[in-house]
Each structure stands twice: as C-alpha cells, then as structure tokens.
Copies of this chain bind each other. A is one copy, B any other.
Amino acid sequence: MGIKTYNLKWMNRITKLFRIKYPVVQGGMVWCSGWRLASAVSNNGGLGLLGAGSMHPDVLKEHINKMKIATTKPWGVNVPLLYPEIDKLMDTIIDEGVKTVFTSAGNPAKWTDTLKKHNITVIHVIANGKFARKSEDAGVDAIVAEGFEAGGHNGREETTTMTLIPHIRSITNLPLIVAGGIGSGSAMLAAMALGADGVQIGSLFAASAESSAHENFKKRVVKTEEGETLLSLKKLSPVRLIKNSLFDRLHKAETSGVSAIKLQKILGRGRAKKGIFEGDLEEGELEIGQVSSTINSIRPVSEIMEILITDYRKVKQEIETNSAFNF
C-alpha cells in the first residue's frame, strides 16, 4: 500500500509528463527544427519539437504529417505567439491532433485554454518570474525557463540560467524545464541540482546532422569561440547572435545612439532565414547560444543524445563516489 504514491512522487516529472525516456526537450528553433530533427530527437528518447516560427501553416501541416510517419514516439510543436497567422497555425495544430504545444514570446493566457480544451499539453517559455506566475495562472502544464546564455530571442532582465533556476523554483512548483547553456550532461545535472526537472537544448541540435539549417551555418557554429555571440538589438527585441558584418553594423548603430526605427531599417526582414537557412554568414542573423563555443563537430542526433546521457551518468556517479564532493 502506498507504494504507487511513492513511485509517482519520485518519478521525473518531465519524462512522466511527456512519456519520454530522458528529460531532454529539443528547442523549437526557426529554420533548424523540421521533421527530420524533431523525429530524430524523439526516436532517441527526447522530446522533438517542430519549430513553427519559420513555417507557413501549410508547411507546418506537411511537417506534422511527415512526423507522424517518421516516429511513433511523443513530440510537439513550438509556436511563438507573435506569429502573424497564429489562428490558422493553431487550427492546423488542433486539426492534426498535435498532443504537445510549447508557446513562447507572448502572453500564456491567450491560447492555453483553447489548447487544453483539445487535450493538448501546454508548456510556456519564460525568462522571468512575472511570466512564470502568469503561466501558472493560465494553467500550463510546465514551463521552460530560458537563461541569458540561450540563443535567439531572450529576456530583458539578462538573468543567467544559474540565477534564473532557483528564482523560478522559488515562485512556482510547476514542472520546470531549463534552457540556456545546456551543452553537456554535466550542465544537465547542474541544472537539475539547481531545481530543474529537465532541460531544453537548442545549440547542440541546431548544429546536428538532422538540423535543417544550412551547412555553412552549422560549420560556423562549430567554429564559434568564446565571446563570439552577444545579446544584441536591445532597443528592439534582445536576440543572441554570432558576430558578423550585419552584427557589426547593428552594434555600431546601437551604441552610437540611433533610434529603434532606424535600427529596424538596418535590420530589414528575413535575416534569420538568410543566415540560418540560406547560409549567408555575413548578412544573415546567426542565432545561437553561448554554449556553441563548446560544440566541436556536426553529429547525428543519436550520437549527441548518447554523449549527453553518458556524460550525465558519469558526473552523477562522480558526485556520488568522489570524495572531493564530501564535506
């Protein structure tokens, strides 16, 4: 008696929520995470996400259908809530019977109810305590807390993963997935020691063999050294980019005091596609996390997952057995 309660209490809440083997979610990333990447992650024990941010509703539908063929394992879709055709996109997601949706870049109150009415598991991405509370109020099933070191769009508070996790953990008891700076099994264990239930990994998968990013972009990620990414465009919406010609122009303009409107003009449109999908390394936006400096090769997802979990187990054992951790 009571054994089941005990087991439930101690199970990992992320593996349980998604019915996956490892508490590893692949970040939904524009121009990187189509059905090839997402299904590879799901087939290797994690949770793959289609990144709808760079897909028209009909393209998303196509990817969803390919996902259904490519994997029998659980998977989901990431939707930035500022998406221009959001209603059509959500219709597609509901009509196609998607079971898990990660929402980001917007108000969690807007879509959570609708999605949950269709029995969809909803997870919202946040970067501060205020939105953690909003997410809990909206009734989401879990949150992703994203630290300053993460690639792409990010919060204005600049709170790093190390500081963000205990802060969010003190605010909500929701299952907590952590993103930003997770590039190894040891970082995964560190995040969990800080109070996370699981991790979301972007950069490692953006540079994987199955990522739909351009080969130029993947090679550039592999070459990235420390200090080569910077959170930029703070006058518009902060985004972490690899430094290149476009970055230099934007950074120079921003620090010389130009307005947001002028900055937007210099930026123009379609820069992420240009950089990540078309491989223009000088004129595109190269969105990637700080942890890219530790990525040394383009690997298939199966290898990435194996290295990750092996490293996690090794570090866990070291904490348990190495007396350097005892005092």
A187–B162 CB distance below 8 A: yes
Q: Could you tell me if A158 and B231 are in contact, using CB atoms closer than 8 angstroms?
A: yes
Copies in the complex: 2
Contact: A161 with B162, CB < 8 Å?
yes
Instruction: State whether the Cβ of A82 lies closer than 8 Å to any Cβ in chain B.
Output: no
- A121-149 residues at the B interface, CB under 8 angstroms: 128-129, 147-149
A162 touches B190 (CB 8 A): yes
Given known pairs A160-B148, A163-B291, A180-B162, the reply for A226 and B187 (CB within 8 Å) is no
Q: Which residue of chain B has the shortest Cβ distance to A157 in the bound complex?
A: B227
Tell me the complex Cα distance, A288–B132, Å.
Answer: 24
Q: Say yes or no for A262: interface residue by CB 8 A criterion.
A: no
Task: List the B side residues contacting A128 at CB < 8 Å.
Answer: 226-227
- A256 within 8 Å of B by Cβ? yes
Closest to A326 in B: B12
Cα–Cα distance between A15 and B327 once the two chains are bound (Å): 9
Selected interface stretch from A86-94, A98-106, A193-201, A269-277: A193-201
A97: chain B residues within 8 A (beta carbon): none
- Measured between C-beta atoms, what is the minimum distance from A92 to chain B in Å? 33
A residues adjacent to B (C-beta < 8 A): 7, 10-13, 15, 21-23, 128-129, 147-149, 155-163, 166-167, 170, 180-184, 186-187, 189-195, 197, 226-227, 230-231, 235, 254-258, 290-291, 293-294, 309, 315-316, 319-320, 322-327
B327 touches A22 (CB 8 A): yes
Contact B162 A149 (CB under 8 A): yes
17 residue pairs A–B, Cβ–Cβ below 8 Å: A12-B326, A149-B159, A149-B160, A158-B227, A160-B180, A162-B180, A163-B181, A163-B226, A166-B186, A189-B190, A189-B193, A189-B319, A189-B325, A190-B194, A192-B319, A257-B257, A319-B320
Q: How far is the CA of A103 from the CA of B128 in the complex (A)?
A: 35
Chain B residues contacting A326 (CB-CB under 8 Å) are: 12
Cβ-defined partner of A147 (8 Å) among B11, B160, B192 = B160
A309: shortest Cβ distance to chain B, in Å?
7
